[in-house]
Amino acid sequence: MVDKADLEQLRPTTHHRIYDLVSAAGVNVEDWGNYKGGPSKASQNPKYCYEWSFDVPGKFSILCLWFDELECSNELIFQKLNLQKEVQSFQDQKSKAGPKIRRAQRMDKHIANAFEQKLPIKVIICDGSRRDKNNPNSKASKVSGRKLDPMPWAVTAYDPATGNCVITRNVATIKVFDQYSVPIDPTRKQIQHTETYIRDRSQRDAALRRACGNCEYCGMPGFETESGYAYLETHHVVPLSEGGADHECNIVALCANDHRAAHYGKNQKEIRDNLKRLLSRYYS
């Protein structure tokens, strides 16, 4: 049963930059540095940093949702949106509404595409003071907290005629399994020469859901298995043998190539440091 206490746990307690969260989610941010501020000011690029949504075509979309508009009912946490109505409201206000109209239209398009293509949603949860939508002269919204939710969301309802939609948390749109989920042929003997650790299946599954079918290091999708699942390999960033936690905050989902590189590549330290930074965007 999901209740208000569960909802409150989603309230951001840190204030990450939108640039860092979008990058951690798997969006290529190279173009952010292509403006007068240059690469050192990439996170401030106004072409991107004020957007309400982002899209990786064919893979997933990212939506910025306000914490105070989240709802919970029974087993679900969700948010109801209607960007088409917001566009109409901004058009009625006329004054300085151009950027808001474009952002609302873009977000509505991303939601529609995700619904039609059954793509996962990654959500950046924002907290802070909100602009009065009915008062064009009210102060701009100001974010005091922002975080990337590790759980996947999905567009569970969308009406293109009215714009009404529902974005729901922890709804799987992609079936994924890892190296420990592969069925074992009972006719084959399993020979084990190395020390093994018991791994919590629920923590691996949480990391796989978070990855939405894509390698969390290179961004490439896991290959499709004969059964229709996406295949990725789960990896403890700080190994269990070094005291690393068997928890989703220390587990990533990688393609087989990056998983081998994380263990044996000459740049394995760099890979570990990068993966630690990625996880910090979700769990700090």
**pLDDT tens digits along 119-167:** 999 999 999 988 776 666 677 788 999 999 999 999 999 999 999 999 9
Helix axes 256-264, 268-283, angle to 10 degrees: 120
Question: What distances in angstroms separate CA 235 from CA 22, 61, 136, one per listed residue?
Answer: 22, 25, 49
Q: What local confidence, expressed as pLDDT, does residue 90 receive?
A: 81
Question: Which residue, among 236, 231, 255, 257, has the nearest Cα to 246 in the 3D structure?
Answer: 236
Mean pLDDT of 176-196: 59
- Say yes or no to pLDDT of 21 above 80: yes
Q: What local confidence, expressed as pLDDT, does residue 183 receive?
A: 56
Question: Which residue, among 235, 242, 195, has the nearest Cα to 216 in the 3D structure?
Answer: 235
| Beta pairing partners, 61 | 55, 121
Distance CA 261, CA 252 (A): 14
Distance CA 139, CA 61 (A): 28
Q: What local confidence, expressed as pLDDT, does residue 191 receive?
A: 45
Cβ distance 231 to 257 under 8 Å?
A: no
Parse the chain into domains and list their residue ranges.
4-169, 176-283
- Say yes or no to pLDDT of 264 above 60: yes
Q: Span 176-283: which CATH code? A: 1.10.30
Q: What local confidence, expressed as pLDDT, does residue 134 receive?
A: 66
pLDDT band at residue 201 under the 50/70/90 scheme: confident
Q: What local confidence, expressed as pLDDT, does residue 136 receive?
A: 63
